[in-house]
Chain A
Amino acid sequence: MRVTRALLVYCSLIAGAATAADSDTLAAQSVSKLSPIVVRDLHYGDVLFHFYQGEDFDALTRLNAYRQWHLTPNHDAEGELLLGGLYLSLGMHNEAGERFERLLTRNLPEDVRNRAWFYLGKIWYARGYLERAERAIRSIDGVLTPELEAERLHLLANTLMRQERFDEAIALLNGWRARDGQQDWLAYAEFNLGVALIRKGLVSEADPILTRVGQLESGRRELRSLRDRANLALGYAYIQAEQAEKARLPLERVRLNGPYSTKALLGVGWADAAAGDFEGALTPWLELRDRNLLDAAVQESYLAIPYAFRKLDANAQAAESYELALRSFDEESARIDQSISTIKREQLLDQFVAKDDQQQYGWFWSLRQVPDAPESRYLYALLASHDFQEGLKNYRDLGFLSSTLSRWDDSIGAFDDMIDTRERAYAERLPRADALLASGAVESLRERRDRISNELTRIEQSKDVAALGTQEQRDQWQRIARVEAALATLPADEENDELREKARLVKGALYWQLDEAFKARAWNQRRTLRDLDQALREADNRWIRVEKARTSAPTNTGEFAARLQALKERLDGLTVRLVDMQAKQNDLLERLAIRQLEQQKARLAAYSVQARFELAAIYDGIASSAPAREPETEPQPAPEPGPVPESDDPVSRGEGPVQDAPAPPSDPGSRS
């Protein structure tokens, strides 16, 4: 029995499943505070040894095998929980979910039950089964550790917000009180509360909350990112609520070098434009135009700038800017075409997978280094998306599983040889074994032993002291007997009587010696007999084992050979399926990538149409020498995510700079 200090890291493992980058760190921090448990089965400890080294696949294999051999009887429920977590780490949500659900039908201690509900909630949330997720989270009964409680709240709030049940999310988040040391959880909770209030149109109520998050001081990347998002959310909420004058302050708090800076610059421009300050609006927009054209906000700035110029009656600059926009959009569109054909020509995923450590697999893996290829520049948002990352993980996992099976394929040859060798050895030994078994050797030894035992009993009972004498003593005893016999035939006279007396004295002396040693000798004989019995029992056991082996060995090797053959067939079948599935996964993600690129092209085309239209209007105005008209239309925003900011939902939002940024106002015309 041994006490371990930090078991149940599977919390962290499973925690990773549903909370992704931002809250992973928080979940991991909670691990070290979990209570110790006792390892009661050596083999369960062996599973943990691999698990703690991040060798989840090995841990899973061993745990399944040890459970099959009934080697972990004292860790049944925990083992089931760990199994669920390990399946999850390999992206097998269905299996994990079924295991947790099965676990919950049993009579379990409350803490195990609660953890199972908790992880189940995370699984369903990550898979988008929100109602199931909510039901699981609400099934948690009793007290969780403060860290888990914070995570539970975070999960439940996100579940409600993704179902657009903002009132309930607001009530939940308002009612939560952070403990000491939970500042990070508090920041996420406040961010979500602010977003939920905005979603309900309560911008002024959201303001102090998001401002608090937007002014957080932190050296951590995640929190700095959250701070930017809070400011962006508040700024755009004010623009949408037609209170553009209040939008500037939060938008200006967004870091200029952070991933949200382009959206912020665009928003600051719109805030100025809404106030009629088109000169002011040009400053951020011109700054934006110098940035990477891949960014949707940058693309929009190409149309926003000439729009502002026209508002300022600077038609020449406006026309020039529209022409620049058209050229840039065309060039960009051509580059996208090139990327699409590259993707169609090459195996997309191998580029990504080759960039990373081949040993890693499973849920925790994520693409850290994007390959330096032209197409990857267009795919940042896609690469950061949940579906793509999941697909890429699957692709890697399949590669890992293929290499595992390939190693087994090599071993199977060795197993085959081993079974052959055993069969040959068996055939060689069989005649000897049969001869031995036919000889009845042990039986004859036992008979001999019985004869010896009977003789010893006779000697003891008749007190035949001479029988246990040394060889010399026995010779002397026999000689005396012969002398006595000879003397008995002689006539009785003085000389013979003297000889008889001498013989009697010698015999008496010898008898005395023999008698004195008799007890010790008899005891020694008995002890030797007991040793013999022991040896005979061992011989019996060996005899039985040889007899058993004689009959079971052919069955045994035959059974192994049959099992091996069946496994080989399964292995061959699965190897083919793995290759096929990898190709399918690659095709699907390629299609997603191409679809993404085509959407980008469509957006550029829409912008181009708009720019051409405006350009024609300007030239038309110049040709007819009429005074410059107001722009026909304002720049149209790109097809973007929803008009209000998303909640902090790390699973579905990914980490891309574009995907989760709020869209620009949808109807700028109303502001002019």
Chain B
Amino acid sequence: MPAAAADATELPAEAAAETDTRGLDEEIQSLKKDVVDLNKDLFVLEEELLFPASTQVAVFISMDVGEFFALDSVQLKIDNREVSNYLYTAREAEALLKGGVHRIYVGNLKVGKHELVALFSGKGPNQRDYRRGANLRFEKSVGAKYLELKITDRQRRAQPEFAIKDWE
């Protein structure tokens, strides 16, 4: 009973199994697609319901290089009211260093003048505890407002730099 013959007798069963597997996989892929689409539609609805574009304000945080500063946490105040106090996990800090941008806060604000204050805590040069702040006065108009907290390295002074950018 050579091996090839044994294989040949088993082919129909194997082929049937493969057909079953592939057929079901196709069905599952289609179902997954429906769930992914639904999930997106629910996400869209939630955002539009909770944060309409007319009042939405979103604050993002990004890090470039990060040689002189290791981020631990960020505290955000808008108009002197604390809106976020975010503690970063190692995985999140790593994702920022790779180039990810974290949407740290999304909320609603009335049209008009406002002030954002951000307090960054972490380890600075020589592993010292480091706390720095940045603030920005901005005008909220009818459209959504996006603000970016940027942490960059200032090579010449071997210090981190913190800034807030208003994305028009």
A residues near B (Cβ < 8 Å) are 2-7, 9, 36-37, 39, 42-46, 48-53, 57, 60-62, 64-65, 68-69, 87, 90-95, 387, 390-391, 394, 397-398, 401, 404-405, 408, 411-412, 415, 418-419, 541, 560, 563-564, 567, 570-571, 574, 577-578, 581, 584-585, 588, 591-592, 595, 599, 606, 636-643, 663, 666-667
Contact A418 B44 (CB under 8 A): no
User: Across the interface, which residues of A come within 8 angstroms of B2, CB to CB?
Assistant: 643, 666-667
Q: In the bound complex, how far is the Cα of B146 from the Cα of A585, in angstroms?
A: 45
Q: Which of B55-97 contact A (CB under 8 A)?
A: 58, 60, 62, 64-65, 91-92, 94-97
Q: Is the CB of B39 within 8 A of A404?
A: yes
Q: Given A48-B101, A578-B31, A636–B1 Cβ distance below 8 Å?
A: yes
Chain A residues with CB under 8 Å of B40's CB are: 61, 64-65, 68
A65 engages B17 (CB within 8 Å): no
Contacts A2-B62, A52-B95, A595-B17; A415 near B28 (Cβ below 8 A): no
Which of B13, B29, B62 meets A92, CB within 8 Å? B29
CB 8 Å contact bits of B1-13 with A (1 = contact, 0 = none) = 1111011011001
Q: CB-nearest residue of chain A relative to B20?
A: A588
Q: Quick check: B92 and A53 within 8 Å, CB to CB?
A: yes
Task: Known A52-B94, A53-B91, A578-B31; judge A639-B7 contact (CB<8 A).
Answer: yes
Q: How far is the CA of A39 from the CA of B64 in the complex (A)?
A: 11
Contact among B42, B44, B96 for A49, CB-based, below 8 A: B96
The answer to whether A6 touches B99 (Cβ under 8 A) is: yes
| Chain A residues near B98 (CB-CB < 8 A) | 4-7, 9, 48, 52
B70 to chain A, nearest CB (A): 15
Min distance, Cβ A644 to any Cβ of chain B, angstroms = 10
Please determine whether B99 and A5 come into contact, CB atoms closer than 8 angstroms.
yes
Q: Is B46 among interface residues, defined by CB-CB distance under 8 A?
A: yes
Docked-complex contact B24 and A560, CB < 8 angstroms: no
> Which residues in A have their C-beta under 8 angstroms from that of B111?
541
Instruction: Pull 20 A–B residue pairs with CB atoms less than 8 Å apart, ordered by A.
Output: A5-B65, A46-B60, A46-B101, A48-B98, A49-B102, A52-B98, A61-B43, A62-B43, A91-B29, A92-B29, A397-B32, A404-B39, A415-B46, A560-B49, A567-B38, A574-B35, A585-B28, A639-B7, A642-B3, A666-B4
Bound CA–CA A68/B7 (angstroms): 52
B36 in contact (CB, < 8 A): yes
Residues of B within 8 A of A48 (CB): 95, 98-101
When C-beta atoms are compared, the residue in chain A nearest to B23 turns out to be: A588
Instruction: Note all chain A residues with C-beta closer than 8 A to B33.
Output: 92, 95
Given known contacts A2-B64, A49-B95, A61 and B39 CB-to-CB distance under 8 angstroms: yes
| Smallest beta-carbon distance B43→chain A, Å | 5
Question: Out of A37, A574, A643, which one reaches B31, CB within 8 Å?
Answer: A574
CB A459 to nearest CB in B, in angstroms, measures 34
Cross-chain contact A639 with B29 (CB below 8 angstroms):
no
Which residues of chain B are within 8 angstroms of A642 by Cβ–Cβ distance?
A: 3-4, 7
Whether B100 pairs with A585 at a CB distance below 8 angstroms is no
A637–B2 alpha-carbon span in the complex (Å): 7
Q: Which residues on B sit within 8 Å (CB–CB) of A666?
A: 2-4
B45 located at the interface, meaning its Cβ lies under 8 Å from any Cβ of chain A in the complex: yes
Q: Which residues of A contact B46 (CB under 8 A)?
A: 411, 415
B60-A42 in contact (CB<8A): yes
B29 touches A93 (CB 8 A): yes
Q: How far is the CA of A637 from the CA of B5 in the complex (A)?
A: 11
User: Chain A contacts of B115 at CB under 8 A?
Assistant: none
Distance in angstroms between the alpha carbons of A667 and B95 in the assembled complex: 58
CB-defined contacts of A45 to chain B, threshold 8 Å:
60, 62, 99-101
Chain A min CB distance to B38 (Å)? 5
8 extra interface residue pairs, beta carbon distance < 8 Å, beyond A6-B99, A398-B28, A564-B45: A2-B64, A3-B99, A5-B99, A57-B39, A408-B42, A570-B38, A595-B17, A639-B9
What are the 6 A-B residue pairs with the smallest beta carbon separation, nearest first? A4-B99, A45-B101, A49-B100, A639-B6, A52-B95, A666-B2
Closest to A577 in B: B31
Minimum CB distance partner of A580 in chain B: B31
Q: In the bound complex, what is the Cα–Cα distance between A94 and B6 (angstroms)? A: 34
Report yes or no: B38 in contact with A571, Cβ–Cβ below 8 A. Answer: yes
- Residue in B closest to A560 when the chains form the complex, CB atoms: B49
CB distance from B72 to the nearest CB of A (A): 17
Contact flag A7-B99 (CB < 8 Å), given A560-B45, A581-B31? yes
* Contact (A563, B45) CB under 8 Å given A2-B62, A592-B17: yes
B residues sitting closer than 8 Å to A (CB atoms) are: 1-4, 6-7, 9-10, 13, 17-18, 20-21, 24-50, 58, 60, 62, 64-65, 91-92, 94-103, 111, 146, 148, 150, 167
Q: Which residues of B contact A53 (CB under 8 A)?
A: 91-92, 94-95, 100
Q: Do B18 and A42 have beta carbons less than 8 Å apart?
A: no
Cβ contact within 8 Å between B28 and A65? no
- Judge whether B6 and A574 touch: CB under 8 Å: no
Decide if A64 touches B21 in the complex (CB within 8 Å). Answer: no
Is the pair B101, A65 in contact by a Cβ cutoff of 8 Å?
no
- In contact, B17 and A387 (Cβ under 8 angstroms): yes
A65 and B44 within 8 A (CB): yes
Return the contact of B99 from the options A2, A592, A638, A663 (Cβ within 8 A). Answer: A2
Contact of A408 among B7, B39, B150 (CB under 8 A): B39
Which of A2, A50, A541 meets B150, CB within 8 Å?
A: A2
State A641–B49 Cα separation when bound (angstroms): 58
Whether A39 contacts B99 by the Cβ 8 Å rule is yes
Q: Which residues of B contact A638 (CB under 8 A)?
A: 6
Q: A68-B40, A95-B33, A387-B17 are in contact. Are A394 and B45 (CB under 8 A)?
A: no
Q: How far is the CA of A45 from the CA of B95 in the complex (A)?
A: 10
Determine whether the beta carbon of A42 is less than 8 Å from that of B3: no
Report A290 CB to chain B, min CB distance, Å.
25
Q: Which residue of A lies closest to B94 (CB)?
A: A52
Q: Are A599 and B10 in contact (CB under 8 A)?
A: yes
Q: Please name all residues of chain A whose beta carbon is closer than 8 Å to the beta carbon of B39 when the two chains form the complex.
A: 57, 61, 404-405, 408
A230 CB to closest chain B CB, in angstroms?
Answer: 21
A372 CA to B41 CA, complexed, in Å: 42
- Of B13, B58, B150, which one neighbours A595 at CB under 8 angstroms? B13
A527–B45 alpha-carbon span in the complex (Å): 46
Cβ contacts under 8 Å, B92 to chain A: 49, 53
Among B26, B42, B91, B95, max chain A CB count under 10 A is at B42
Expressed in whole angstroms, the Cα–Cα distance for A667 and B6 within the complex equals: 13
CB–CB A387/B21 < 8 A: yes
CA distance A43 to B102 in the complex (A): 9
Known: A93-B29, A577-B31. A663 touches B3 (CB 8 A): yes
